[in-house]
Amino acid sequence: MKNAAALPGHQPTTAPVAGDGSSSRRGVRRAELELSQAASADLSTRDRVTQLLLERGATTAAQLGSALGLSPAAIRRHLDAMLADGDVVAREQAVRGTRGRGRPAKVFLLTDAARVRCGTHHYDNMATAALRWIARNGGSEAVEAFAADQVATLEARCRAAMEDAGDDPLARAEALAGALTAEGYAANASTIASGGQLCQHHCPVAHVAAEFPQLCEAETAVISRLVGTHVQRLATIAHGDGVCTTHIPTQPRMSGKTVTTVRTDK
């Protein structure tokens, strides 16, 4: 019998050649595309984690995962990567009152470097140098006067934005939170058992205020005047806290009198 390949009209079957170039290149391109898409998704999620930490301050992994709709394993993977890159730090969660059994949960906060990349702390070095010069040549009173002058324009803009807020301190705190958010402070107000609480999750001068607390004191005085009652500053980003927190005790408005402020974060 003759070889089938020699029969008329019969085409020999060609076996696929191992290592075919075109299919190999397609496989490589597909793998590269999948890796690129996965990397983009990771960056997008990390951006969302960063934004949440900027807005909320110290937050647990469970809270972040719940807000983003991620499993504990998935949020942990992103946080581990951000820890390795120096974008976040982990601390034990502060517990007020009686602590329960077991170790406190860890909370995560943005590092100073990550805050800078979020657009914070503009011209810190120059501002710090200028305040050092003022302190050296004019003393602490000159620094206080400078700080008061700096927040005066912020106070005027916030007061205008709060024009229809009424006289109730807690209502005014809510209006102030909206005004401060418009100014880039990522603020929110809430009612608590002892009154109200104003939280600022972003501070544009945190590095400078760490050395010159007069800036925080001037801002606290502005909050007190705008809310219309005595307030207590409980925590500040400048002092290493995740959020600037101001307590607004429930009390009658002090019309016609000078309202003082009390700092409790020294």
- Would you list the DSSP string of the chain? ---GGGSTTPPPPPPPPTT-HHHHHHHHHHHHHHHHHHHHHHHHHHHHHHHHHHHH-SEEHHHHHHHHT--HHHHHHHHHHHHHTTSEEEEEPP--SS--SSPPPEEEEE-HHHHHHTT-STTHHHHHHHHHHHHHHHHHHHHHHHHHHHHHHHHHHHHHHTTTS-S-HHHHHHHHHHHHHHTT--EEEEEETTEEEEEES--TTHHHHHH-THHHHHHHHHHHHHHTS-EEEEE-GGGT-SSEEEEEE-----TTSPPPEEE---
pLDDT tens by residue, 43-85? 578 888 988 888 888 889 999 999 999 999 999 999 999 999 8
User: In the predicted model, is pLDDT for residue 156 greater than 60?
Assistant: yes
Rounded Cα distance between 27 and 130, Å, is: 59
> How far lies 90's CA from each of 32, 62, 83, 111, 190, in Å?
34, 13, 8, 10, 26
Question: How high is the mean pLDDT of the chain?
Answer: 79
Write out pLDDT tens, residues 129-138. 899 999 999 9
Please name each of the domains of the chain with its CATH number. 31-93+104-110 (1.10.10.10), 139-249 (no CATH)
Q: Which residue has the tokens 């620094």?
A: 143
How would you classify residue 115: left for phi > 0, otherwise alpha for psi between -120 and 50, otherwise beta? Answer: alpha
- Name the nearest CA neighbour of 82 among 103, 54, 105: 54
Residue 89: how many CA atoms within 13 Å on its side-chain side? Answer: 12
pLDDT grade, residue 160 (50/70/90)? Answer: very high
Q: Please write the tens of the pLDDT for every residue from 186-213.
A: 899 998 888 899 999 888 888 889 899 9
Q: What is the pLDDT of residue 62?
A: 92
Q: Measured between alpha carbons, how far is 139 from 120 in angstroms, rounded to an integer? A: 28
